[in-house]
Amino acid sequence: MKKVTIFFLSLTVFLLIAGCGTMDSVFSKKPAALDDQLTLLTKQIVNSLSEKNKSKIAVIEFSNLDGSISQLGKYISEELITRLYRTGKFEVVERQMLNKIMNEHELSLSGFVDESSAKEIGMLLGVDAIASGSVTDLVSEVKINARLISAETGKIFSVASVKVNKTQDVIQLLDPSSSTTIVQSGETAKPASKPDHSPQMDGDFKVVRVGFLIELNSCVMTSSQLKMDFTVTNQTDSDKEFCIKYGRPSTEIFDDAGNQYPISVIKVANSEIDFKRAGRYHYKNITKKLIKDIPTKVEFVFRDVNPKADLVTLLQVNGCEYEFSFRDIPIKKQ
């Protein structure tokens, strides 16, 4: 009888211990703080890279399901770069170099990397693995999916995922303009006030070049002078000089009647070049050091523009290391 009693007691203790282990496993899958889950995600990635003997890696910005990239996606990639480097096990491509190479070769910086792009990135950067991924908003939580891609084959060789609590910080990283506020039970949510950036643009005019996020905020006509206001943010890992060519080939616009206008004035923060003052044959680049993550005002002025124009059909900007264009920009009259 004693033997039977001891057996059942032992079995009960075993089941309790096993049950606790199962509960721990269940609780570990619950959404948790962002930094804690990024630690878990990093461990999963490190294990997979080590198993496949991958030693040099590039981390691509994590994208939303629609292909756009939020501040959260950028934060995740930056954290993974730092955490992977700190392990001392891998050579990690520096963000500024990655941006430079990918912009030069017009490769996607989003989390959706196809097979051919993966092989090209591997060849250009000399890496043997690429970490990319996606961010999915699940209303009450956020799921982060990571994919490890072989630069040799372009195939996915491992995946990892975590879920994150949707705290106020996470919401702001997902959408900086969000008015959503997390409240306790019984409280009323108050929408956050949004800054007024009038005049508002009717379209979405922004581009990333050589590590700079360039956003067109307004396009305003006063008499025959057209002024474009931009915000430029240095998204690289350090302070960097932003440069715009002044001369040939010129930054220029075309209106809806086909008229062409070269730029008259360029302003970057408190630096300015005026075409008339500089002289017709004065070709000088305007260069300004932009501090990391600090939005800087940039202004283009075009003189003698047809006051009847309603649309800038093409803006062509020529930088020192880049170029970009916007089309069909509405003109606000004053």
Show the tokens assigned to 253. 């616009």
* DSSP type of residue 191: P
**Per the domain annotation, does 100 fall within a domain?**
yes
**Strand, helix or coil for residue 20:** helix
**Per the domain annotation, does 191 fall within a domain?**
no
129 and 229 share one domain: no
Final residue before a domain boundary, out of 116, 151, 174? 174
143 and 35 share one domain: yes
pLDDT over 70 at 42, yes or no = yes
User: Which whole-number Å values give the CA distances from 193 to 180, 190, 218, in the listed order?
Assistant: 11, 9, 21
Final residue before a domain boundary, out of 150, 174, 198? 174
Percent of the chain topping pLDDT 70? 73
**Per the domain annotation, does 112 fall within a domain?**
yes
219 and 154 share one domain: no
**Per the domain annotation, does 12 fall within a domain?**
no
Handedness of CA 55, 61, 65, 67 (dihedral sign): negative
pTM, to two decimals: 0.47
Largest CA distance in the chain: 108
Higher-confidence residue of 324 and 24: namely 324
Question: Per-residue pLDDT averaged across 108-114, rounded?
Answer: 57
Q: What is the CATH number of the domain that holds 163?
A: 3.40.50.10610
User: Which whole-number Å values give the CA distances from 73 to 142, 150, 231, in the listed order?
Assistant: 11, 21, 21
Q: What is the CATH number of the domain that holds 295?
A: 2.60.40
* Number of domains the chain is built from: 2
Tens digit of each residue's pLDDT (9 = 90 or more) over 150-203: 988 989 999 999 999 988 888 888 876 554 444 333 334 344 444 333 334 544
**Per the domain annotation, does 183 fall within a domain?**
no
47 and 151 share one domain: yes
142 and 214 share one domain: no
Tens digit of each residue's pLDDT (9 = 90 or more) over 112-164: 567 777 888 888 888 999 998 889 988 789 999 999 999 889 899 999 999 99
Q: Can you tell me the distance from the alpha carbon of 319 to that of 2, in angstroms, rounded to the nearest whole number?
A: 88
113 and 216 share one domain: no
249 and 289 share one domain: yes
pLDDT over 80 at 29, yes or no = no
90 and 40 share one domain: yes
Question: Per-residue pLDDT averaged across 78-89, rounded?
Answer: 90
pLDDT over 80 at 12, yes or no = no
269 and 323 share one domain: yes
> Which residues constitute the domain of residue 223?
206-333
**Per the domain annotation, does 312 fall within a domain?**
yes
**Per the domain annotation, does 68 fall within a domain?**
yes
48 and 168 share one domain: yes
Q: Can you tell me the distance from the alpha carbon of 91 to that of 85, in angstroms, rounded to the nearest whole number?
A: 7
pLDDT over 70 at 110, yes or no = no
Tens digit of each residue's pLDDT (9 = 90 or more) over 248-297: 667 899 999 889 998 888 999 888 888 766 554 445 678 889 999 999 99
43 and 159 share one domain: yes
Average predicted confidence (pLDDT) for the chain: 78
156 and 234 share one domain: no
**Per the domain annotation, does 7 fall within a domain?**
no
